[in-house]
Amino acid sequence: MFSRDYPATLTPNGEGGYIVTFRDVPEAITEIWDKNELKETATDCLVTAVDFYIEDHRLFPAPSKTKKDDVIIQLPISISAKILLLNTMVSGNIRPVDLAKKMGIKPQEVNRIIDTGHTTKIDTIAKALSVLGKNLQLSI
């Protein structure tokens, strides 16, 4: 089970805005000037951090338990599914070219599947996970 809810910390920047950080993802740091910007800006920041992990072929950390003053930033389901695929690939030492062979597609197509900027059908991500021996399940 992978949670989409990442705890964020807001720290006053001394100029009327806030620095937003994620203890589980130290690369994710952003600044907002109005709390109305928080959800969109912090989500974009967190998704950008996912890109760093994809580029470096590193496991993306699961969120820690929420603390009293945390703000919860929820990743989109599509990004969470891509993180599950990334983490499965990294854990199994599977390169995009290896996954492409298993799926019968070109390596460039695998790169698009895990690219956070590319819209990927959830069925495609489920298929990729399936050939790696995993079963993607959604629940309410």
Lay out the sheet containing 71-74: strands in order across. Answer: 29-32, 18-21, 5-12, 71-74
Structure tokens at 32: 């907002």
CATH no., domain 5-74: 3.30.160.250
Using the predicted structure, report yes or no on whether residue 110 has a pLDDT greater than 90: yes
Using the predicted structure, report yes or no on whether residue 139 has a pLDDT greater than 90: no
Tens of pLDDT, residue by residue over 3-42, are 789 999 999 999 999 999 999 999 999 999 998 999 999 9
> The whole model's pTM is what?
0.90
The DSSP secondary structure of 38-105, one letter per residue, reads: HHHHHHHHHHHHHHHHHHHT-PPPPP----TT-EEEEPPHHHHHHHHHHHHHHHTT--HHHHHHHHTS
Nearest Cα to Cα of residue 32 among 56, 12, 4, 5: 12
Using the predicted structure, report yes or no on whether residue 2 has a pLDDT greater than 70: no
